[in-house]
Structure 1
């Protein structure tokens, strides 16, 4: 096994925070040495079976002739930390909600 890479040496930014479901699409731009660094790092740190399987499957695809496709993303929108808020507008919002006839939490009904 190679020297264990440190987090700052990894070819993917925020690798530790990537959901397993998007990892497969994020590693398609990596070559064999970059993918091997991720695999070595994962085995030494988290050793999560689903992650190791995704990395090993991609490594096998590279061995069988697949090539890196596209560029490795420099930033990950899944973990960017910025939230744009809701895209709801008056045209796409639901109908107005009427309070119940017995009152609202801020205006409880009066006894009869």
Structure 2
């Protein structure tokens, strides 16, 4: 089996997909595509949870499961761009506070009224 390049993968940028999303995406692959994806994963990242998921899906295909339909180029995992500026401003900040009443912050090991008696 020839070595696959990242650009040749059936699921674009699959390395960045959450495991749950990858589980649904690989359902559209046939046995040969699963073998190629497994070979790529074994040659590169070797992530145990990902490989276990892929091996299980390959076993299911070998036992008669059929690939589902779906577009592998759709990427609902990518969040949409921000819709605008943040309504937060400096006017909403609390005023600067003084040192705590229980001591000097520059000398945390000494009490405020360090007196000799």
| Alignment RMSD (CA, Å) | 2.3
- Structure 2 length-normalised TM: 0.67
Please report how far the alpha carbon of residue 4 of structure 1 lies from its aligned counterpart in structure 2 after TM superposition.
2.2
Counterparts of residues 22-101 of structure 1 (less than 5 Å): 22-78=21-77, 80=78, 82-83=80-81
Q: Tell me which residue corresponds to 1:105.
A: 94
Gaps of 5+ in 2: 84-91, 98-117
Report how many aligned residue pairs link the two structures: 90
Where 1:77 maps in the other structure, the secondary structure is coil
Q: Deviations over 1:2-21 (max 9, x none)?
A: 22211011000111211112
Gaps of 5+ in 1: 86-98
The more displaced of 35-44 and 66-75 is 66-75
Q: Tell me which residue corresponds to 1:9.
A: 8
Runs of 4 or more, structure 1, over 6 Å off, are none
Larger radius of gyration: 2
